[in-house]
Amino acid sequence: MAKILNKEDLDRLPGVLSGYDVYAPVSHDGVLRFCRLEEDSDQGMETGFTNTHKPPKDLFFPQTEVMLELKREDHKWTGTQETARPTGKAVALGMRPCDAQSLNILDVLFTWDYVDNYYINNRNRFTIVGLACTGGDKEPPTASCFCTSVGGGPGSKEGLDVIMTDIGNHYLFEALTDKGRDLEAATAELLSQADDGHVQQAKEAVEAAEKKISRKMPAEGSVEYLDGIFDHDYWEGFAQRCLGCGICTLLCPTCHCFDINDVVKLGEGRRERTWDSCQFEYYSIHASGHNPRPAKKHRQRNRIYHKFHYMVKNLDVLGCVGCGRCIEKCPVNIDIIEVMQGAKEAAKEAGKEVEKEAGKGEAKEAGK
């Protein structure tokens, strides 16, 4: 049965959840990202936001993660040991449904041909508490949101253990999994029983939010229409605007490329992995010096094919959740919805050309 949480009690959660590390959206220097909430801190969870600037994948796949530590003694490297991984239960509080959906995609990716225990360890620690995208005009969804085109929605429960929906003075609190029910039990003193009116109010709020999402991404059938335009001139056009800054990938909740480096200083060293981007020129350079993606058009094309072709074909998941971060933050206004619409149109025109050439061939054969 659904519960309700009084909004005034939201800041009490870190104290009540004493057995958990609690992470929630917090603003630092104008950047909204998931940070650990301290019980004795005045800084509480932000609630009046569209989405965090930095995706919460950082909790599970950190931007920089130390893998090994080493020491050098008597001119020899000794004491090589794997860095201790975080332990104990944790909760991500206030995650938008699109970001929760991205975790299901990363789950598939990081357990595909090799199980990434660094990611899995972090993932297993967390209980995910979602915050449905409902609210006033200044709250989500925004003009950049298109989650309904890629299998999501403002009230989607995919990837969540609990979903909270704003219903005025309260949140409707719905536990969805065993982890969610454990969290519900831990916060029982702050919860009270919801009635049918609360449930209906939440349903209507989600339906109203869905109607606000006006933009549509032509994601359905993307493998088929992208198949025919890999070498099309279309990719040259929009890629000319690209600066190669990589912000579209670094702020994407599903992008997962990384580099591994050994960092050595004064007899101590560590092996760490850090986020990387297929939009950087050096990313795809081989040891031989050859670069199979030397131009921006190749790198932008790779980004699109990776999300809407390769991942669909190889993993049976779309690599996009419609959060709109890449649209909002691109400094030259490259819009992934427009890119995909253009790609579909280019495929349509290419198909007509193929049919036209085939018709000429048939006519030529008939005239012999």
Task: For residues 257 and 276, give the distance between their C-alpha atoms in angstroms, rounded to a whole number.
Answer: 5
- Please tell me whether residues 254 and 177 are part of one structural domain: no
pLDDT band with cut points at 50, 70 and 90 for residue 81: confident
What is the pLDDT confidence band of residue 260, given thresholds at 50, 70 and 90? Answer: very high
Tally of domains in the chain: 2
Whether residue 112 is contained in a domain is answered as yes
The pLDDT of residue 363 is above 60: no
Residues 87 and 130 in one domain: yes
pLDDT higher than 60, residue 66:
yes
Q: What is the mean pLDDT of the chain?
A: 91
Same domain, 269 and 305: yes
Two structure tokens written together for 69 = 């530590």
- Which residues constitute the domain of residue 267? 222-353
Q: Give 23-34 pLDDT, tens digit per residue.
A: 999 988 889 999
Q: Please return the burial class of 170, using the count of CB atoms within 10 Å of its CB with bins 0-12, 13-18 and 19+.
A: buried
What's the rounded Cα separation, in Å, for the pair 189 and 207? 30
| CA pair distance 23, 25, nearest whole angstrom | 7
Nearest CA to 49 out of 328, 333, 358, 367 is that of: 328
Domain ends where: 163, 189, 212?
212
Query: 10 Å Cβ neighbour count for 216?
Result: 13
Q: How far is CA 83 from CA 75, 118, 231, in A?
A: 22, 10, 45
pLDDT at site 39 = 58
Position 53 in a domain: yes
Half-sphere exposure of 202 (CA within 13 A, CB side): 24
Note the Cα 267 to chain centre separation in Å: 38
- Confirm if 184 and 162 have CB atoms less than 8 A apart: yes
Indicate the residue among 212, 247, 278 that finishes a domain. Answer: 212
Contact present, 10 and 169 (Cβ < 8 Å): no
- CA gap 201, 195 in Å, rounded: 10
**223 within 8 A of 313, measured Cβ to Cβ:** yes
Question: Measured between alpha carbons, how far is 16 from 129 in angstroms, rounded to an integer?
Answer: 15
- Please report whether residue 360 resides in a domain: no
pLDDT grade for 69, boundaries at 50, 70 and 90: confident
pLDDT of residue 99: 98
51 and 164 share one domain: yes
Q: What gap in Å lies between CA 323 and CA 147, rounded to an integer?
A: 6
Q: Which of 157, 182, 212 is the last residue of a domain?
A: 212
What is the percent of the chain with per-residue pLDDT over 90, rounded to a whole number? 76
On whether both 287 and 319 belong to a single domain, the answer is: yes
Residue 364 belongs to a domain: no
**Residue 217 in domain:** no
Range 114-126 average pLDDT: 95
> Does some domain include residue 363?
no
Report yes or no on 359 lying in a domain.
no
Distance CA 298, CA 133 (A): 35
Rounded to an integer, the average pLDDT of 209-230 is 95
Same domain, 310 and 177: no
pLDDT of residue 359: 57
Contact 258, 280 (CB under 8 A): no
**What pLDDT band is residue 364 in, cutting at 50, 70 and 90?**
low
Q: Clarify whether residues 56 and 15 are in a common domain.
A: yes
Tens of pLDDT along 158-183?
Answer: 999 999 999 999 999 999 999 999 99
What is the model's pTM?
Answer: 0.91
Residue 203 and residue 306 in one domain = no
Q: What is the pLDDT of residue 204?
A: 96
Do 244 and 139 have their domain in common?
A: no
Taking the C-alpha atoms of residue 298 and residue 313, their distance in angstroms, rounded to an integer, is: 20
Looking at the structure, do residues 230 and 274 belong to the same domain, yes or no? yes
51 and 181 part of one domain: yes
pLDDT in tens, 41-60: 567 788 888 899 999 999 99
- Whole-angstrom Cα distance, residue 283 to residue 171? 44
Domain assignment present for 368: no
Could you report the per-residue pLDDT of 140-156, keeping only the tens digit for each? 788 899 999 999 999 99
Contact between 273 and 288 (Cβ < 8 Å) = no
Residues 205 and 287 both lie in one domain: no
